Amino acid sequence: MRKLVLTFVLIFASSMIFAQFTLGPKIGYNTSKLSVDQSDIKTSLKNSFQFGIFARIGKKLYLQPEINWLTQGGVFKQPSLSGGILPFEQEVNLKTVQIPVLIGYKIINPKLINIRILAGPVASIVADKTIENKVDNWIAPIEDADINDMIWSLQVGAGVDVLMFTLDVRYNIGLNKVINNITVDGKQVTFASKVSGFNVSLGWKIF
C-alpha cells in the first residue's frame, strides 16, 4: 500500500513538473450583495477593486489557484417600522482574503488566443469588519459578532487569453450564511444573509 501511494505521489509530482505552468498578478472590479431573508429589509450592491496573484497548471484542462484581496458587503436598509423592528440603515464592509481554486477548460485553443470556461470553490477569510450606522438616531442591530469570519462560495465563469493577458468574468454564488441571525430588543431576527456578485479581472502572465 505504501509503495502504491509513493508511486502515485511520484507520478503526480512528475506531471506537475512537466505540466505547463503560468504565474502572474491580476487586478479587477468586484460587485457584491448580501441577501436577506426579510422582505421589508432592502439591500444594495457594494462595489470595490480587487488585486491578487494567480497560477495556472495544465494545458487544455487546468487548475487555477489564486489569492485575492477585496472588499465585500452591502447596505441593509429598513426605512420604516416593520415586523416589530425599528428603522435602521447600516453599511457592512468586509475586507477579505479570497482563495479560489478553479478548474478550467480551454474550449478554443489556438496559439495566440483561447477561450475558456471555469468553475470551483472559493474560501474567503474576513480579515476586517466595519459596520457603519448611516443614520445617527436609528438603531444599529448588526454587530461584529453576528458576522461569520469565513465565507464559502462557488464561482462560475468564462475567460479569454490574448498573448500574455488573461481576462475573466465570473459570478460568485454564496454557499454559507455570512449573517445568520441578529438580535433586536432581545429577540432574534433571522437574516440568513449570503453574499453573491460578479467580478471582472485582468491578469498578466509573467511566465
In a domain, 5, yes or no: no
Q: Is 72 exposed, middle or buried (0-12, 13-18, 19+ CB in 10 A)?
A: buried
In a domain, 14, yes or no: no
Contact 41, 192 (CB under 8 A): no
Averaged over successive runs of 10 residues, the pLDDT of the chain (207 residues) comes to 47 53 95 87 90 94 96 87 74 96 92 93 96 87 93 97 96 95 79 93 94
Q: What is the rounded CA–CA span in Å between residue 153 and residue 159?
A: 19
Cell numbers describing residue 32: 457584491
CA 203 to chain centroid, in Å, comes to: 17
Compute the distance between CA of residue 170 and CA of residue 197 in angstroms, rounded to an integer: 9
Q: What is the extent of the structural domain holding 194?
A: 21-204
The residue type of 156 is V
Nearest Cα to Cα of residue 106 among 161, 51, 151, 53: 161
**pLDDT at position 1, please?**
47
Cβ neighbors of 47 (< 8 A, separation 6 or more) are 29, 30, 31
Taking the C-alpha atoms of residue 149 and residue 8, their distance in angstroms, rounded to an integer, is: 36
- Kindly state whether residue 2 falls inside one of the protein's structural domains: no
The whole-number pLDDT of residue 69 equals: 97
Count of structural domains, the chain: 1
Residue 106 lies in a domain: yes
- Give pLDDT, residue 97: 97
pLDDT of residue 84: 60
Q: Is residue 121, in this structure, part of any structural domain at all?
A: yes
- Taking phi over 0 as left and psi of -120 to 50 as alpha, with beta for the rest, 110 belongs to beta
In a domain, 16, yes or no: no
Cα dihedral sign for 35, 65, 47, 141?
Answer: positive
- State whether residue 144 is helix, strand or coil: helix
Write the CATH number for 170.
2.40.160
Q: CA angle, 184 as apex, 179 and 187 as ends, to 5°?
A: 95
